[in-house]
Chain A
Amino acid sequence: ETGVTQSPTHLIKTRGQQVTLRCSSQSGHNTVSWYQQALGQGPQFIFQYYREEENGRGNFPPRFSGLQFPNYSSELNVNALELDDSALYLCASSRSGGAEDTQYFGPGTRLTVL
């Protein structure tokens, strides 16, 4: 069984640029959640996708957007990058997104905005 994978592992961008991060969910999982983790902080929920539809969003501006594909992999897009967007971006997959589900996390993408 393949776990959750993310690409790229590291990324450096400059202010104002756009970035796309990718996540492949664990086999058999149809729900993907994205989190932002600033240095020394706990992860903050960005949004969740369930069967290609957004299913909940945290307190992040519209320049954070996402997609989920028919194979349940997902993308996180961030436009007009700001210095504060520098963080570890984690995705997690689960079987159904239900409250009882365990989320399985990927290794993360470290984004640095200069």
Chain B
Amino acid sequence: KQEVTQIPAALSVPEGENLVLNCSFTDSAIYNLQWFRQDPGKGLTSLLLIQSSQREQTSGRLNASLDKSSGRSTLYIAASQPGDSATYLCAVRPPGQKLVFGQGTRLTINP
């Protein structure tokens, strides 16, 4: 059974810092991995989708990497801003299954 873990559960950093969020998964047989952002009490916004054949994806200040063999992904946020404060979720798509989510990392950027 695929399990997804995100560490840390919460992170607080000063504005302007670069930071890394971690995601690990137990089974390397996945179609893709996706990072989402969730604001309090709201739905999910897709940030980056990495197919299994890819190593990384970039969008603006965000960069996500994927190492399938080790079951790890990282989300790098450059020059963090208070508006980046949210919960970040990663999810994997195993074969024949739907999205399996981690519990998320709650990020706070302090002005």
Contact = CB atoms under 8 A, between A and B. Distances in A.
A106 B100 CA distance: 18
- Residues of A in contact with B, size category: 20 to 34
B97 interface: yes
Interface residues of B, number: 25
A100 B98 contact: no
B93 A90 contact: no
Contact of A33 (B34, B98, B100, B102): B98
A51 B75 CA distance: 34
A103 B89 CA distance: 14
Nearest to A107: B43
B63 interface: no
A45 B104 contact: no
Interface of B: 4, 31-32, 34, 36, 41-46, 49, 51, 89, 91, 93, 95, 97-104
A40 interface: yes
A97 to B, nearest CB: 9
A102 B95 CA distance: 15
Nearest to A41: B103
Contacts of A108: 41-43
A33 to B, nearest CB: 6
Interface string A63-87: 0000000000000000000000000
A2 to B, nearest CB: 14
Nearest to B90: A42
A105 B43 contact: yes
A104 B44 CA distance: 8
The 6 closest A-B pairs by CB, nearest first: A42-B101, A99-B31, A105-B44, A105-B43, A107-B43, A45-B98
